[in-house]
Amino acid sequence: MPDASPVVPADRTGPRVFEGTPLRTLDEDALLARVLPLYPTGPDLQVPPGDDAAVVATSPRTVATTDTVVLGRDWLDEWSSGEDVGHKVVAQNLADVAAMGAVPTGVLLTLVADPEVGLEWVLDHARGVARACRDARVAVLGGDLSSASAGVVMVSVTALGRLDVDPVLRSGARPGDVLAVRGELGLAAAGLLLLQQGRADRHPDAVARQRRPRPPLADGPAAARAGATSMLDLSDGLARDAGRVARASDVVVEVEEAALAPDVDRLREALGEREARDCVLSGGEDHALLATFVPGGLPAGWRRLGSVRARRAGEAARLLVDGRPVTRPGWDHFTPGG
């Protein structure tokens, strides 16, 4: 996540937030007339945006989640375009749906913006939302617009999903389970670090992953069908999120350092050994999936990271890496890095 580090311009495309035609020159209907045609629909959307509310056909059990990003806190205009932001906020919400074992079906959007924000940025953002939704085969169901104080831009997404099997919770890990990941670790955090350091050219793939994560959405429902005992979206880093599984399940989760070697190797040349390891272990926003499975039940494409065991007498539920606690647990919205 962006912090108070000096802003170093990085290669990006698309209009800036406060450039172009100010939103104050349009009314809400005129803005919606420009934005809504960009968004995909779907067969489950029975009444599209335009009425007081959308009507969507849902399954007997529907998963719902929401997330908000704020200019200056969750993204910087110097680093990410409107399209980047649109893609990212959709991806991170759909990853939460997939982590429950559900198939994403639709999103609701909210934009809260200073009237001086440029129309061009808003349309660029809408294109990012639309592309991410089309890629995931989900519909944009509707949303809301609101003005805000000077300098404020906030984007919120609520995502829905269809649950065809029992939900996979954080609390289901059991002693003897295998801990596994679907996706790569540390790339997004490395991209952020390189942007902060003004060295984006050192690892373009990492910077691209920071701007536009690619969660393995289909693997969440597939893992649920394969019998995953627990699962979550790796949004705040392996250390913090694996610790959440441990506490919710009242177990000890043990990660093997050697299992992280491919991820560290991928970043070592750009960052050095220590920073590469920190990104892999504690860096967030990759939106890979972390899950536990019974021995022998690992689905194709998943990579073993470690195991789950029972707590010993007097021992707290926690994460260990090669038997040692982690000193930098990962991202927290109110105590970053703590």
User: Looking at the domain assignment, is residue 39 inside a domain?
Assistant: yes
Instruction: Flag whether 66 is marked binding.
Output: yes
Claim to verify: residue 128 and residue 235 sit in the same structural domain: no
Does the pLDDT at position 100 exceed 70?
yes
Instruction: Flag whether 205 is marked binding.
Output: no
Does the pLDDT at position 2 exceed 60?
no
Q: Which of 6-10, 107-111, 114-118, 140-144 has the lowest mean pLDDT?
A: 6-10
pLDDT digits (tens, 9 = 90+) for 212-228: 999 999 999 999 999 99
Claim to verify: residue 108 and residue 204 sit in the same structural domain: no
CATH number, position 260: 3.90.650.10
CATH number, position 111: 3.30.1330.10
- Determine the straight-line distance between the first and last CA of the chain, rounded to whole angstroms: 13
Claim to verify: residue 158 and residue 270 sit in the same structural domain: no
Instruction: Flag whether 236 is marked binding.
Output: yes
Rounded Cα gap, residues 305 and 303, in angstroms: 6
Average predicted confidence (pLDDT) for the chain: 93
User: Looking at the domain assignment, is residue 332 inside a domain?
Assistant: no
Instruction: Flag whether 214 is marked binding.
Output: no
Q: What is the pLDDT of residue 24?
A: 96
Higher pLDDT, 54 or 187: 187
Sign of CA dihedral 163, 166, 171, 176: negative
Claim to verify: residue 317 and residue 176 sit in the same structural domain: yes
Claim to verify: residue 101 and residue 147 sit in the same structural domain: yes
Claim to verify: residue 205 and residue 149 sit in the same structural domain: no
pLDDT grade for 10, boundaries at 50, 70 and 90 = low
Does the pLDDT at position 130 exceed 70?
yes
Tokens of 90: 């959709």
Rounded Cα gap, residues 44 and 30, in angstroms: 27
3-state SS string for the chain? CCCCCCCCCCCCCCCCCCCCCEHHHCCHHHHHHHHHHHCCCCCCEEECECECCCEECCCCCEEEEEEEEEECCCECCCCCCHHHHHHHHHHHHHHHHHHCCCEEEEEEEEEEECCCCEHHHHHHHHHHHHHHHHHHCCEEEEEEEEECCCCCEEEEEEEEEECCCCCCCHHHCCCCCEEEEECCCCHHHHHHHHHHHCCHHHCHHHHHHHHCCCCCCCHHHHHHHCCCCEEEEECCCHHHHHHHHHHHHCCEEEECHHHHHHHHHHHHHHHCHHHHHHHHHHCCCCCEEEEEECCCCCCCCCEEEEEEECCCCCCCCEEEECCECCCCCCCCCCCCCC
Q: What is the pLDDT of residue 332?
A: 58
Claim to verify: residue 222 and residue 285 sit in the same structural domain: yes
Instruction: Flag whether 96 is marked binding.
Output: yes
pLDDT digits (tens, 9 = 90+) for 256-314: 999 999 999 999 999 999 999 999 999 999 999 999 999 999 999 999 999 999 999 99
Instruction: Flag whether 241 is marked binding.
Output: no
The residue among 146, 162, 178 that closes a domain is: 162
Claim to verify: residue 193 and residue 270 sit in the same structural domain: yes
Q: What is the pLDDT of residue 333?
A: 55
Claim to verify: residue 221 and residue 131 sit in the same structural domain: no
Q: Which of 44-48, 127-131, 281-285, 327-331 has the lowest mean pLDDT?
A: 327-331
User: Looking at the domain assignment, is residue 326 inside a domain?
Assistant: no
Domain count, the chain: 2
pLDDT digits (tens, 9 = 90+) for 319-333: 999 999 988 766 555
Residue 134's domain spans which residues?
Answer: 23-162
The residue among 119, 138, 162 that closes a domain is: 162
Claim to verify: residue 175 and residue 118 sit in the same structural domain: no
pLDDT digits (tens, 9 = 90+) for 66-76: 999 999 999 99
Instruction: Flag whether 74 is marked binding.
Output: yes
Instruction: Flag whether 219 is marked binding.
Output: no
Rounded Cα gap, residues 215 and 187, in angstroms: 12
User: Looking at the domain assignment, is residue 206 inside a domain?
Assistant: yes
User: Looking at the domain assignment, is residue 3 inside a domain?
Assistant: no
Q: What is the pLDDT of residue 224?
A: 98
Claim to verify: residue 215 and residue 109 sit in the same structural domain: no
User: Looking at the domain assignment, is residue 336 inside a domain?
Assistant: no
Nearest to 151 by CA among 70, 228, 245, 230: 70
Instruction: Flag whether 166 is marked binding.
Output: no
Residue environment code for 32-54, b if the CB has 16+ CB neighbours within 10 A, otherwise e = eeebeebbbebebbeebbeeeeb
Claim to verify: residue 187 and residue 46 sit in the same structural domain: no
The residue among 127, 162, 197 that closes a domain is: 162
Instruction: Flag whether 302 is marked binding.
Output: no
User: Looking at the domain assignment, is residue 139 inside a domain?
Assistant: yes
